[in-house]
Structure 1
Amino acid sequence: MATSRARASRYRAGILGAAALAVGAAAVAQDRPESLLPPGFGDPAPAPAPSPTGAAVPAPVPGGGFVQPLPVPSPSPAVSASPSPSPSPTSTASPYQLPAFARRSLTRVGVAQTALPVDAFGAADGRSIELLMRRLSAPLPSRWTSILLRRLLVAQVETPAGVNGADFAAERAWLLLRMGESVAARAVVQGVDTDRMTPKLRQVWMQASLATADPAGLCPLAEGAGDSERGWVVARAMCATLGTGARSQPLVAAIRRRRIASGIDLQLAQKVMGAGLNSRQAITIEWGPVTQLTAWRFGLATATGVAVPDELYATVGPQVAGWRALAAAIPLAERAAPAERAAAMGVLSNVALVDLYAAVADDDAAPRTVTADAETLRDAYVAGDRAARLAAMRQLWSAAATPAARYARLVLTARAAARLTPAAETAEADRLVASMLAAGLDRSAQRWRGVVPAGGDAWAMLTLADPDAGGRAAAFDDYAPQGPTADRRRRLFLAGLAGLGRLSTGQVEQAAAALDVRIGAETPWTRAIDRAARDRQGGMVILLAAVGMQTGDWSGVPAEHLYRIVAALRAVGLEGEARMIAAEAIARS
C-alpha cells in the first residue's frame, strides 16, 4: 500500500511539474506570461472569508454595477496519497428537476460521442487535470490543436478520481469559454442536472449563458441561488418577468434599494425584463460612460438587440470573437469579421464560414464591403473558368492584413482550392495547399504532390500531411524554404517528420545538431506528455499538447514542443490530427 501511495504521489508530482511548466513554456515563447482569464471580464477579487456555502461574493465595481465573479478555483492539489474531495453538490430546488429515471450520472459527463475512449484520462489524478485546465492560456495559436481540445472537452468521458463530476464539467466549460467555444461550454454545463450544482458550476453556468446571449438560460438556477450572489439576484428578477407578465418595476426598485446593481448593468437587465409579457418599459441604453465590456454587458445587450460599440470590443480578448460568431442574435453581416477570426481559432469550420457568407450575399441590408467579399467568394467556388476562380481566391487572400486574418481566408477558400485542377504553372501552390489542409482536406491536397516545386513549402506540407506515408522515410534535406523565417520552418519540418516517425534516429540527431534543436531535452512537461503517451491516456496527451502551446502565435512554439506533441498524439492513435498540426506549423510560420 505504501509503495502504491508513493507511486501515486510521484505521478501527481510529475503532472504538477507540467502544470508549473505551463507558465515556463509560455516564458520561452514570450516576454511575459499571458493572463489565463479573459481580458475585460473582471479580475478575481481578494479571496473573501469562506462562506457556509463556499460561494464567492461579487466584488464591487467603481461607479456602480457589478461584475459576476469568476469561477471559484478548487484548492490547489497537494502531493499526497489521499486527495481531498471536491465540494459536494448543493441541492437546488427548481421546477426543472428531472424524474428519477431520467437523472444523469456524474461519473460520466459530456455531451458528444467522439472517437476518444470514455477512459481518456486513464488513472490520472483529477485534481491535476483540473489544475492544468485552469492554468491553460487560451485561445491557442494552433487551429488544429484547438479543434482537438474542444473534442476532448465536450466528449463523454469518465470523471477522473479525486474530483466531483459537476466541478469537472465546470472546469471544462470554463476552458471552452476562454477558447471562444461558447455554445459548447453551455452544452457541457447543461449536461449536469440542476439539482447537482456546485458553487463552481453555478458560476460557470452563468458565464456560459451570458456568452451565448441566453438570459433565459439562467432561469433553471436563479431560484436556488443565494442572495449573496448579486448576479443571481438580478437574474431572478429577469426570470420573474420573462413569459409571466409580472411587473418589473417593484423588482427593479428593490435592486436599487439594496444597491445590488446600477448603471448600464441594471439598464440592460431592465431591457431583458422589458421583453416579458405586458411590459410597458422603454429603456434607452447609454454606452457613453462605459469603458469596459463584461460578460454581463455582452450577453444582455446581444440578447436584446442592443449593438455593442466597436471600441468596447477592443477591451476584451480574442475569445469574444468566437462568442460573437456563434451568437444568433447578432446580424449575419456583423458576424462576418468575428467569424473569420473564430475560424482561424478553430471555433468555426470551413463549411460554417462559407454558409455564413452565402447568407450574407443574399442580404440586401448588409454593407457593401461584406457583400462584395461574399460575391468574390462565390466566384472562387463557381466562376466559369479556372483562372477566374484562382483570381477570386487571390483577391480574398490579398485583402487580409494580419497573419491570423490571412489564415482565416485560407480556411474560407479551402473547398474552392480543392475544386481546382492541379497545374504545374500555378504560382499560388503554397497557399492552395495550405488552404486545403486548413480544413483537413488532405487527400484533395495530395493531388498536387506531382506538380508543386520540390523542396518548397507546399512540398513540405504535403510531405507532413500525407495520409499514406506510414513509416516511409522522408527526404528532410530536400526542403529549402525561402524568406526571413526559413530557418524556423526547417526546424519545424524536422520536428514534424521526427514526431511522425519519418526519419531514422541518426537522421534526427544529425539534423537536430545542425539546426540547434534540443529535440531530446527533458523537462517536467516532456516527461508528463511522454508518460501519458506510454499509458495511452489520450485525454492527458491532448491537454498537455495544449499546455505546450501557450503562446500568442506560432512564432513562439518551440520546435522541441512540436516534436513531443506530434509524437505523443501519434502514439495514442491521433495521427491524423498530428499530421494536420505539423502541416499547420509550416503554413503559419
Structure 2
Amino acid sequence: MKISRTSSFASVLVLAGLVGLPALGQDVPESLLPPGFNDPVAPAPAPGAQQPAARPSGLPQAPIAGPAPIPTPTPTPTPTATARPVDPKLLAQYELPEYARRSTAHIGIDGAGLGRNAFAGADGRMLETLMRRLDAPVASRWLSIALRRALASDVDTPARVNGPDFAAERAWLLLRMGEAPTARAVVQSVDGENYTPKMYQVAMQAALATADPAAMCGIVEPAQRVSQERGWQLARAMCAGLAGEPKQAGVLIDQARRAFRRRAVGADIDLKLAEKVLGAGAQGRRSVTIEWDGVEQLSAWRWGLANATAVEIPAALFDTVGPQVRYWNALMPAIPPERRVPDAELAAAQGVLSSSALVDLYATVGELDDSPSELSAVARDLREAFAAAQVADRMTALRQVWTGATDAQRSYARRVLTARAASAIPASADYAADADALVASMLSAGMDLRALRWRSVAPEGGDAWAMLAVADPRARQVSQRAVSRYADGDARKGQLLLAGLAGLGRLPAEDATELAQSLGVPIGAENAWTRAITLAAGRDQPGTVLVLAAVGMQTRDWRGVSPQALFHIVAALRAVGLEGEARMIAAEAIARA
C-alpha cells in the first residue's frame, strides 16, 4: 500500500479505529523515512507492490489453483466452531498436559527484544488492520530490523483481539517482509490446540516460505476441519507420502487431481510439485519431471515445493513476485551459494541478512572452483580488504568492492558487506576522501563507536560529518550554522539532517524552528498519522510506534522519503527508549538519500 496524501493516512487510521477524521490540510509525504541497535501481481510492478485495497481485511489463502505470486489475503477473524465434532479419544492423543500448555495471553519468541508490554494499552484491532494493510518491505534497513524484533517478541496480547489471531497477523507481516524463519517461529509459539482458521492459513504460508512442506503434517487434519482451502487436500497427500504410505498418498493425490481439474485452470504445475514431494518419502515410487513451460506466475506454493525438492525455478519467474521472495531465497541453505549471493545482497540491504552472514556467504563462494567470475572477483577483493598487510591495499580493495555495485540498493548492500573491514581502517587524513563511504559502511552494521574515530578526520559539511552528528550516542549539540552550511551543498540531505537532529533533540528548539522554516520542512504540521505516532510514543508503546513508522515508510525508493516523516519517526522512537534505532535510521537516511 502506498500512501501519498493525508487523507490516505487518515482513512487507514479511521478504519482501524485509531482516530477520527478531522479536517486535514497538510499533505503527508508519499512515504516516510527510515536496531544494533493472491492474486497474480501485475507483470513487472514496482518491486513488491501488494494489493491491500483489494482485500483489506484478511490473511493469506494458499495459492494452489491458478497463479498467485504471494499468498492472497482472505480474512478469517476469530475462530469459529469446527465443521464436525471431534472424537474426544482422538483429541486426547494430541492435547498437551496442563503443565506444558502455553498461554495465549502472551505469544512470541522469548528474548526477541522489546518485552511483554510493547503493545500495552493499544487497540489490537487497530494494530491488526495496520499490519495487514502494510505494503512491505519498507525503505529502511534499520526500521525493518527493529520491526522484526517487535513482531517476533513475546508480547502481551492487546485488547479486543484473539491471541493466536494477533500472532498470525504478525507472522503474515513478517513473511511479507521476507523474514520467513522468524515468521515460522512466531507460528510455532502457539500450541496447535489454540490454532484459529487465520493461524492455519499463515502456518501453511510459513511452511511454504521455509520450503518445508512437512511442517504442515502435524496440523493438516484439524486444518481441513476448519478450512476449505484446496492446499490442505494436497498437503494431506504429501504428508502420507512423507510418512511412508505411498498407496494412501497415491489415492489422495489422484482424488485431488480430479477435483482440481474440474475447478482450477493452470493447476498442473501445483499438482506435479505436490506429487514430487510425496514421492520423496520412504517407499515413494513416483518419479515426476517438473517442466516450467507455460508457467507465467510464481507463487508461494510453487516456490516452497520447488525448493523442497531441489527443482530450480526459472529466473524470469522472480520478476512476477515481490522482493520478499528473493529474501526467502537468500535464507534457503539448500540453494547453491553462487545462486544465493545476488538475492543475499538485496536481503542484506533490507536488514533480513546480517553483515557477517553476507561475508560468510561470499567466503563460501570464494572457495568454489566454478563460481561466476564476477562473484569470485568480489570475494577476492573482500578477502584482500580484510587480510592485506598494508592499509593502502585494504583501502584499494574496499573501493573495488564498492564500485562494482549496479544500483542503489546493491551499492548499500556492499556497504553492509564491508562494514567490519571498514572498521579496521585507521582514521587518517590520508583517507579523508573515503570517509563518507567508510562511515556509511560502519553505520550500516551499527558500529557507531568505531565510526566516531573519524570525527576528527571528516570535514564539517561532508556526509560523514552529518552521519556522525546523528549517530553519536553522546548526544552532542550541533550548531544552526553547521546545518545551514551542509544544506547549502545539498538541500535534500540538509533537510534530512535537520529532521534527524531535531528528532533526536540535538538542536535548540529555536534553532530547529528557524531551520525548518528556511529549509522548508514542516516539522510542526499535524495530521492523523503524526498524531497517532505521537500518541503511541506518549503512551510508551514501542511496538505500536514501530508499526506506525512502517505504515509511513511504504516505499522502496529513498527519494520518496520525507524529512517531515523522518522527524516524527526519530522523535517517537527516542521517546519510547529506542534511541539507538532512531540514530541509525537518521544516519541511514543521509547515507541512502
Fold match by TM threshold 0.5 = yes
User: Between Structure 1 and Structure 2, how many residues are aligned?
Assistant: 556
Change (3 A) 1:144 1:66: closer
In the alignment, which of 203, 206, 213 is matched to residue 208 of structure 1?
206
Instruction: Tell me which of 278, 291, 303 is aligned to 1:286.
Output: 291
SS in 1 for 2:430: coil
CA offsets, 1:112-168, max 9 Å, x none? 314423111121110001011111111110000000000000000000010001100
Structure 1 residues 37 and 221: alpha-carbon distance in aligned structure 2, compared to 1, 3 A threshold: farther
Alignment partner of 1:338 is 2:339:
no
Partner amino acid for 1:528?
A
Instruction: Please name the residue that 2:220 is paired with.
Output: 222
1:437 lines up with 2:437 in the alignment: no
Name the counterpart of 1:87.
79
Asked if the contact 2:136–2:173 (Cα under 8 Å) also holds between the matched residues in 1, the reply is: yes
From the superposition, tell whether residues 29 and 433 of structure 1 become closer, same or farther in structure 2 (CA, over 3 Å): closer
| Residues 305, 544 of structure 1: alpha-carbon distance in 2 compared, 3 angstrom cutoff | same
> Offset of 1:73 from its aligned partner?
2.8
2:74 aligned partner: 72
Tell me which of 398, 422, 431 is aligned to 2:427. Answer: 422
Deviation per CA, 1:509-532, whole angstroms, max 9, x where unpaired?
110110111010000111111111
Q: Deviations over 1:260-280 (max 9, x none)?
A: 674110111111011111122
The one-letter code of the counterpart of 2:18 is I
CA separation of 1:326/1:338 partners in 2, compared to 1, >3 Å: closer, same or farther?
Answer: same
Residue 406 of structure 2 is aligned to residue 397 of structure 1: no
Secondary structure at the residue paired with 1:437?
helix
Give secondary structure in 2 for the equivalent of 1:224: helix
CA distance in 2 between counterparts of 1:40 and 1:534 reads 32
Range moving further from structure 2, 393-402 or 111-120: 111-120
SS of aligned partner of 2:296: coil
2:94 and 2:436 map into 1 onto residues whose CA distance is: 54
- What is the deviation of 1:68? 8.8
RMSD (CA atoms) = 3.2
Structure 1: gaps of 5 or more residues: 1-9, 49-53, 76-85
Alpha-carbon distance, 1:363 to partner:
2.5
Alpha-carbon separation, structure 2, partners of 1:313 and 1:363: 25
Note the C-alpha offset of 1:198.
0.9
Within the candidate set 122, 128, 131, 1:130 is matched to 128
Q: Secondary structure at the match of 2:203?
A: helix
Query: How far 1:305 moved relative to its partner?
Result: 0.3
Contact 1:325/1:335 (CA < 8 Å) preserved in 2? yes
Q: Output the CA distance in 2 between the equivalents of 1:315 and 1:421.
A: 45
* Map of 1:307 onto structure 2: 312
Bigger drift between 246-255 and 491-500 goes to 246-255
Matches within 5 A, 1:98-109: 98-109=96-107
Aligned with residue 18 of structure 2, among 11, 15, 20 = 15
**Residues 17 and 294 (structure 1 numbering): CA distance in 2 closer, same or farther, change over 3 Å?**
farther
Letter in 2 for 1:464: V
Deviations 1:252-307 (A, max 9, x none): 22112222674110111111011111122221111011010000000000110000
Equivalent of 1:387, from 389, 392, 395? 392
Q: Residues 270 and 283 of structure 1 are in contact (CA less than 8 Å); yes or no, is this contact kept in structure 2? A: yes
What SS does structure 2 have at the residue aligned with 1:220?
coil
Answer whether contact 1:167 1:201 (CA < 8 A) is retained.
yes
CA–CA distance in structure 1, aligned partners of residues 338 and 109 of structure 2: 30
Q: Is the 8 A contact 2:104 2:190 kept in 1?
A: yes
How far apart are residue 246 of structure 1 and its match?
2.4
CA deviation string 1:173-219 (max 9, x = no partner): 01001111011011111111111111111111111111111111111
Taking structure 1 as reference, are residues 117 and 55 closer, same or farther at Cα in structure 2, changes over 3 Å only?
closer
Structure 2: where are the runs of 5+ without partners?
Answer: 1-12, 34-40
2:265 maps to 1:259 = no
Q: Aligned partner of 1:246: which letter?
A: P
CA distances 1:234-260 after superposition (whole Å, capped 9, x unpaired): 000000110324234322221122226
Structure showing greater relative contact order (alpha-carbon pairs closer than 8 Å, 6 or more residues apart): 2
Tell me the distance in 2 between the aligned counterparts of 1:537 and 1:502: 23
Instruction: Give the whole-Å Cα distance in 2 for the aligned partners of 1:89 and 1:499.
Output: 49
Distance in 1 between residues matched to 2:222 and 2:231, nearest whole Å: 13
1:418-473 alpha-carbon deviations (Å, 9 max, x no partner): 0111111312110100000000000000001001111100000011100112xx32
Query: Measured at CA, do residues 385 and 60 of structure 1 come closer, stay the same or move farther in structure 2, by a change above 3 Å?
Result: closer
Greater alpha carbon shift after TM alignment, 34-43 vs 109-118: 34-43
State how far apart, in whole Å, the 1-side matches of 2:470 and 2:56 are. 49
Q: Deviations over 1:26-61 (max 9, x none)?
A: 74679xxx999995999999899xxxxx99987885
Which residue number in structure 2 is paired with residue 6 of structure 1?
none
Whether contact under 8 Å (2:52, 2:134) holds in the other structure is no
Report if aligned partners of 1:25, 1:550 keep a CA contact under 8 Å in 2.
no
